[in-house]
Structure 1
Amino acid sequence: MIDDAAVLVRTYFETGTLPGLPQGHFIGGHYAAGSDGEMLESFDPGSARAFASFSAGKGEDVFRAVEAAEKGLAVWRDTTPAERCRILNRAAILIRERAGYLSVLEALDSGKTLDEARGDVRSCARLFEYYAGAADKLEGRSIPLGPGLSCWTEREPVGVTAQIIPWNYPTSTFARGVAPALAAGCAVVAKPAETTPFTALVLAGWLAEAGVPAGVVNVVTGLGADAGAALVRHPAIAHITFTGSVRTGVDVMQVAAPNVTRLTLELGGKSPLVALADSDVDKVVDGALWAIFSNAGQICSAGSRLVIDRKIHAEVLEKLIGKARALRLGHGLKGPDVGALNSQAHLERVHAHVQAARRRGLSILTGGKPATDEQTGTGWFFEPTIIDGLPCDDPAVQEEIFGPVLAVQIVDGEEEAVAVANGTEFGLVAGIYTGDISKALRLARAIDAGQITINDYWAGGVEVPFGGNRKSGFGREKGLEGIEAYARTKAITIRH
């Protein structure tokens, strides 16, 4: 396998594809053709052209994968925690050794920049490493019931789990769910998004190389209506981890309800970056810039609302507009500041949101239009966009646009900042900028979100639990909390 990123980038632009792309689903420890042979095309968002094809999975493929997972579970759940630890650590080493290939594939499949993809691959490796260290620490406890009784709890794997992987972070989100599931002794059937199928397939093969037994990790590609729906309704699935939209998350809950299947749902957000009057203006500008324009704004936890005190509004916006206009758009493999949106359909959705804001008479300070790669005139890009002075009830404040579009809300003082920050149905992340630690802690407690950062919007990492409140979903991923979804508690009591 070629792992030199520069060589791979050159190869892609010369041939229009990458070497070594998997064929078929990954079921029972090997790549297998789909049940009916139907194929789908995978597009490079930076050029708007297909670069490969993959299997269009159906219910029969899902049934095969779940059957393989049940067989794999019987082996994996009885593998000692220490051995699971060793295998997951070997997986982390393989990912680091082959980071060049996975990074180029991630950038090509998703549209993001190669630098962003490299960061995702580092997170992927770290997730397997982190949960390797947790595999032998799922401990029970002793419960004192008095003389003649002994009672304790044991932690056991929940069973076969379904992982529904989103298109915005396919590599790191795969690891975020699969690594703790494997550490707990569970088996996995993963269904990646139909626009980003390849990194999950590659990682499944690498996990097998690292020593994960056949059937423990399976990947079925295809459309959500076909493969995804069949997976979430399968009665043998013990837990579903889903990342995506609120609407689809509700559908997943309804489909899974008859089987009383456990769920972890991460359903996005409309996260505020709150900047009080005593903030460091330059830190606010840099924080706001990358809170919304990283990955072209296609981040569930993006700081898509700037809630800013009137006293610093003009100064911050002047600097922020200048930096936003200076950002270079382009194909992710060519070293731009901002990459492409993931699909033509998504580009149209983002554009429709901004057009509607323009029709409502809102102040669009910069951006607001689709764009293309300057060198080729192709690709699905959208200009970094800032909309100013938004009221709390405006759709650009209340709805998740999921693109490089920043909604600016002006407030007067701390109390109004809290009210505005809490003024949507979401509660995923919030960033707070202030020079006063007492104010920061007051706001951190008052703002309803699953994760709060202070004076650095992207502070945190693999070790920090992540997840939302309200319509941002429920359950937590990452951190030690991330393994809890995949372990259940059994109490055992003896009278003697």
Structure 2
Amino acid sequence: MTVEDILAGKAVPALPKGHFIDGEVVAGFEASSMESFDPGRAEAFASFTNGSAEDVGRAVASARTAFETWRKTPAAERGAILQAAAGLIRGNAERLAVVECLDCGKPLNEALADVRGAARSFEYYAGASDKLQGDTFPLPHGYLGYSLYEPIGVTAHIIPWNFPISTAARGIAPALAAGCSVVAKPAEQTPFTALLLAELLVEAGLPPGVCNVVTGTGMDVGAPLVTQSGVDQVTFTGSVETGKHVMRSAADNVTRLVLELGGKSPVVVLDDCDEERALDGVLGAIFENAGQVCSAGSRLVIERGIHDRFVEKLIGRTKTLTMGHGLRDPQLGPVNSAAHLERIAGFVDRARERGAEILTGGSVTVDPETGKGWFFEPTIVADRPSHDELVQEEVFGPVLTIQIAEDAEDAVALANDCQYGLVAGIYTSNISSALEMARDVDAGQIYVNEYFAGGIEVPFGGNKRSGFGREKGLEGLRSYCKLKSVAVRVES
């Protein structure tokens, strides 16, 4: 099937029609289905099963049973299965990317990068699975003390719609490497790549029940999954308000949590930066995936001395960005849904009412080729004070807000004057300034002279209202472990 076939509305073949439980695709307990929409056309392209609490219970029971075998599987064998999964993901990259593009709207090259990143996640944790080791303790003569990492148990993964396959992989891969079993709930807007991933894992040799996927709404599937007594940990990526609800729900069973709740991340540009590199970085930071990125650089904190010429160049580049359906691989794709498009527009409209100057963009639009889809123009808003809604609240769209700093010290103060603390970017040619700012900015991850630098090797997570816990890197592996300490008297 060609891209033109898909854009003409022909059905995408071989999409899963049910949940994935105990190693196979199964029908839901209730005969209920939902449509999945192609954001680039604002039209449904497939349907999927809307699950229920009974489906969640069946998946958790399967994971509970499978965990007892999987936890005892030698770590090297677990790693070999994850390595095989990485190869299968790469071998199916084009298909996965097309489905991801249709489900969430992002340009095809971005979707391909996400699929490659998912493969790399499984590859990384395949190599780490047999290197998880504890410590020995310096106890007095006659005693032996040591620690070991044990898998937590059944882990629930609530996956967002903006990076479906890559977010699924960064949680599922370390959980499996640690010896945990999984029940994943993809967002109802983007169900398919999680289901396809589960199929590939079984093809790679993962035993049935170790990874299960239940599709449906947050109310029908997500809520009962979080409150299940058979779930030992919940990994959630989403909004602050939903994260608070997850915390309250998990408290009844004292379920462990890893929460990534979004951000309002600053990109600090100092007078002495490499301007071309900084321009590239700022554009990518806010307009990748149409700004629908938890770690998007949605605040440009820039020194006054460079402000005028930098912003003029930035506006010029922004106006040249191509927009269109993700399968045509534009520079900017659609936003995920009609409801989200309305939300983004609301932020910009309220800013106008407060007197904000919109330097470019600022309006709802459509695919220029077809007149369809849910699109918002790439938007830049002139200098706003720290108390402004556009500085404090996550728009989650292609909207960049400028803040002018008098010097580096003021830039740090502005960067920190926000309720979120997920990531921050710094552009400067002075390494001492960069390191000082990296020390002083309150965020879980700092990028210097390249936004989104790093990869699966670098721990990721937030401070303040951006959540807690860490994913990726070896910290991400330990997130799915419980530490046991042993002290032994060895003298007779």
Give TM-score scaled by structure 2 length.
Answer: 0.98
1:93-125 Cα deviation digits (max 9, x unpaired): 000011010011111100000000000001000
Once the two structures are TM-superposed, the CA of residue 14 in structure 1 deviates from its matched residue by 4.2
Aligned with 2:128: secondary structure? Answer: coil
Q: Does residue 330 of structure 2 align to residue 330 of structure 1?
A: no
Structure 1 segments of 4 or more deviating over 4 A?
none
Question: Unpaired segments of 5 or more residues in structure 2?
Answer: none
Q: Does residue 436 of structure 2 align to residue 455 of structure 1?
A: no
Once the two structures are TM-superposed, the CA of residue 12 in structure 1 deviates from its matched residue by 1.6
1:456-490 Cα deviation digits (max 9, x unpaired): 11211111111000000001111111111111111
**For 1:261 and 1:476, how far apart are their aligned partners in 2?**
16
Once the two structures are TM-superposed, the CA of residue 332 in structure 1 deviates from its matched residue by 0.1
**For 2:88 and 2:13, how far apart are their aligned partners in 1?**
18
**For 2:438 and 2:376, how far apart are their aligned partners in 1?**
33
Question: Unpaired segments of 5 or more residues in structure 1?
Answer: 1-6
Q: Which residue number in structure 2 is paired with residue 248 of structure 1? A: 242
Q: Which residue number in structure 2 is paired with residue 109 of structure 1? A: 103
Q: Which residue number in structure 1 is paired with residue 420 of structure 2? A: 426
Aligned with 1:206: secondary structure? Answer: helix
Which of 125, 128, 138 is matched with 1:131 structurally? 125
Q: Does residue 323 of structure 2 align to residue 354 of structure 1?
A: no
Residues 69, 189 of structure 1: 8 Å contact kept: yes
**For 2:365 and 2:388, how far apart are their aligned partners in 1?**
25
Q: Does residue 363 of structure 2 align to residue 369 of structure 1?
A: yes
**For 2:285 and 2:144, how far apart are their aligned partners in 1?**
53
Q: Which residue number in structure 2 is paired with residue 300 of structure 1? A: 294
* 1:333 partner amino acid: L
Q: Which residue number in structure 2 is paired with residue 19 of structure 1? A: 13
Once the two structures are TM-superposed, the CA of residue 157 in structure 1 deviates from its matched residue by 0.4
**For 2:279 and 2:462, how far apart are their aligned partners in 1?**
25
**For 1:259 and 1:494, how far apart are their aligned partners in 2?**
32
* 2:455 partner amino acid: G
Q: Which residue number in structure 1 is paired with residue 484 of structure 2? A: 490
**For 2:444 and 2:42, how far apart are their aligned partners in 1?**
36
Q: Which residue number in structure 2 is paired with residue 469 of structure 1? A: 463
Q: Does residue 247 of structure 2 align to residue 218 of structure 1?
A: no
Q: Which residue number in structure 2 is paired with residue 165 of structure 1? A: 159
Q: Does residue 143 of structure 2 align to residue 153 of structure 1?
A: no
**For 2:7 and 2:379, how far apart are their aligned partners in 1?**
30
Report which stretch shifted further, 263-272 or 9-18: 9-18
Which of 236, 239, 258 is matched with 1:264 structurally? 258
Q: Does residue 28 of structure 2 align to residue 34 of structure 1?
A: yes
Report which stretch shifted further, 143-152 or 321-330: 143-152
* 1:382 partner amino acid: F
**1:40-51 correspondence to structure 2 within 5 Å:** 40-51=34-45
Residues 9, 45 of structure 2: 8 Å contact kept: no
* 1:105 partner amino acid: V
Once the two structures are TM-superposed, the CA of residue 15 in structure 1 deviates from its matched residue by 4.5
Give me the CA root mean square deviation. 0.9
Aligned with 1:386: secondary structure? Answer: strand
**For 2:189 and 2:305, how far apart are their aligned partners in 1?**
44
**For 1:130 and 1:61, how far apart are their aligned partners in 2?**
31
**For 1:482 and 1:285, how far apart are their aligned partners in 2?**
32
Q: Which residue number in structure 2 is paired with residue 81 of structure 1? A: 75
**For 1:154 and 1:176, how far apart are their aligned partners in 2?**
23
Q: Which residue number in structure 2 is paired with residue 3 of structure 1? A: none
Residues 44, 111 of structure 1: 8 Å contact kept: yes
* 2:61 partner amino acid: E
**For 1:284 and 1:89, how far apart are their aligned partners in 2?**
37
Once the two structures are TM-superposed, the CA of residue 284 in structure 1 deviates from its matched residue by 1.8
Which of 286, 297, 303 is matched with 1:309 structurally? 303
**For 1:373 and 1:17, how far apart are their aligned partners in 2?**
21
Once the two structures are TM-superposed, the CA of residue 8 in structure 1 deviates from its matched residue by 4.3
Aligned with 1:134: secondary structure? Answer: helix
**For 1:80 and 1:285, how far apart are their aligned partners in 2?**
48
Q: Does residue 266 of structure 2 align to residue 280 of structure 1?
A: no
Aligned with 2:130: secondary structure? Answer: coil
**For 1:436 and 1:125, how far apart are their aligned partners in 2?**
36
Aligned length: 490
Q: Which residue number in structure 1 is paired with residue 383 of structure 2? A: 389
Aligned with 2:83: secondary structure? Answer: helix
Aligned with 2:425: secondary structure? Answer: strand
